[in-house]
Structure 1
Amino acid sequence: MLRPRFFTAQTLRPGLSLALEKDPSRHIAKALRMREGDSLCLFDGSGIEAHAEVTSVEKGQVLVQVQDVSDPTRESPLYSVLIIALSRGDRMDTIVQKATELGVNEIWPIISERTGVRLDSKRLAKKRDHWQRIAVSACEQCGRNRLPTVAIPMSYSEALQGAMEQDDSLRLILHPDGNSQPLPESCGRLTLLVGPEGGFSSAEVSAATEAGFDALQLGPRILRTETAPIAGLAAAQARWGDLSL
């Protein structure tokens, strides 16, 4: 039987006794109703995974003792950065969750010309924290031991500038009018740019091209903004990463 997995921001080492944070403590105590002596799995986001045992459950505070640690390899050889325009509703939640499961390393939310979401800086920071928690939860579920980072939403120009600073990255912008030129046989780092519901403007596509992005069409059908990044990442992982058919 698989042990429940939880993230902790505390450094893990054998023999360590620690009090888990509020969220995992609440889930362990109230949802799973775990008790003293029960086993669980912890990871700290650095690649370390630990087998631990519950030593106390009192008033929602869970204490555990680390039994042993390991560093299993579950990260893809493809380092991927997803630049994604903000979406309405819970679409971004879905994108962050599924992209994490597919091994994305960084997610850069952006505000483009046709982005339908307009929030002030305070609310954008809260949104970023919310998406980071979703990434944590996805890692707990899928077995990843390294957390992807979710950036505070930035402007389109800031994202292009950041992408240009990654000299060794293959840069692709998903676009229905993209070409079908052959992709390289190998790729160690990918930056994938995906637009909002209304797509990128022609000026934005031109700016991306000037920043070194190649326009890529995934297929004959136009994919929704929450489908395109997942399809793109899955295709990239199948070609250059660790997904196999």
Structure 2
Amino acid sequence: MPQFFISSENIVNNNILITSKNDINHIVNVLRLKKGDKLILTDPGSLIYETEISEIKPNSIETIILDKYEPTRKLNIDITLAQSILKSQKQDIVIQKATELGVNTIIPFISQNTVVKLESEKDKNQKIQRWQKIAYESSKQCQRVTIPEISQIISINELIELNNFDVKLVCAEKDAQFSIKKLLLQNKENIIKNSRILVIIGPEGGWDDKELQLFRSKNITLVSLGNLILRAETASITAISDIIYEYEL
């Protein structure tokens, strides 16, 4: 069944009202659903509702709740991906795939070799809005119960000061202290439900030597993803997958 996100304020007794113009257009004109068809509606971070369309109006769709239950499609760990901003399509792919893999927060940041130049606050806000929309649509497609947060764009100096993580690692094609597998195994006994993990991925041009020194000075471990040199967007997907494999399966 198709899934859409709703707000708790749209739930009244045994009915849920869909009022988003984009969702109404998608349901009526793209999916061509009609009265009696079924939908999955999710209140982010709360419950999942199986519903049936009872009435379609120009500005709203009314549904009847058939069943509701706690979500199960979520990770037991809290992964944050910090991604040095990549060229448009590559960054879009990273956000889409990170969403599908269950990442909770995506932090876009600017490093020495970041190719993309965002000069104004307007440019930055437009990018964030675009990325948040991609995360929203990807969450619907893979039937997630939460939508990843795309944070404000920050500098690498701001990034290294972020705290409250149980594990912090940066993927580096050179000067790595451990393989990612070894680091994850070393920390496995300390990982419990909702443990917070920060994984940092660099730009297309790789890390500057001074940045690697900066990470080491803040005790952020440099890890290798193997003997091959990966594209930045591939490195993100690989690192997240490795974390899920070690801590979730």
User: Match for 1:171: what amino acid?
Assistant: K
1:44 to partner: Cα distance: 2.0
C-alpha distance in 2, partners of 1:63/1:95? 35
Task: Indicate conservation of the 8 Å contact 1:14/1:68, yes or no.
Answer: no
C-alpha distance in 2, partners of 1:67/1:23? 24
2:216 equivalent among 166, 189, 209: 209
| Structure 1 residues 238 and 14: alpha-carbon distance in aligned structure 2, compared to 1, 3 A threshold | farther
1:14 to partner: Cα distance: 5.2
C-alpha distance in 1, partners of 2:216/2:137? 35
Partner of 1:179: 177
User: Match for 2:212: what amino acid?
Assistant: V
C-alpha distance in 2, partners of 1:207/1:172? 13
C-alpha distance in 2, partners of 1:63/1:131? 29
Partner of 1:123: 123
Q: TM-score, normalised by structure 2?
A: 0.89
Partner of 1:238: 245
Partner of 1:19: 18
Partner of 2:69: 70
1:56 to partner: Cα distance: 2.4
Cα distance per residue 1:91-127 (max 9 Å; x no partner): 1111011011111111000011111111221121121
Q: TM-score, normalised by structure 1?
A: 0.90
**CA RMSD, aligned part only?**
1.7
1:227 equivalent among 225, 231, 234: 234
Is 1:114 matched up with 2:121?
A: no
Partner of 2:157: 157
C-alpha distance in 2, partners of 1:57/1:214? 54
User: Match for 2:4: what amino acid?
Assistant: F
Q: Which has the higher helix share?
A: 2
C-alpha distance in 2, partners of 1:50/1:17? 9
User: Match for 1:82: what amino acid?
Assistant: L
Task: Indicate conservation of the 8 Å contact 2:19/2:59, yes or no.
Answer: no
User: Match for 2:121: what amino acid?
Assistant: S
Name stretches of at least 5 consecutive residues in structure 1 with no aligned partner: none
Higher mean alpha-carbon deviation, 183-192 vs 75-84, is at 183-192
| Structure 1 residues 91 and 241: alpha-carbon distance in aligned structure 2, compared to 1, 3 A threshold | same
1:57 to partner: Cα distance: 2.4
C-alpha distance in 2, partners of 1:223/1:53? 46
User: Match for 1:48: what amino acid?
Assistant: L
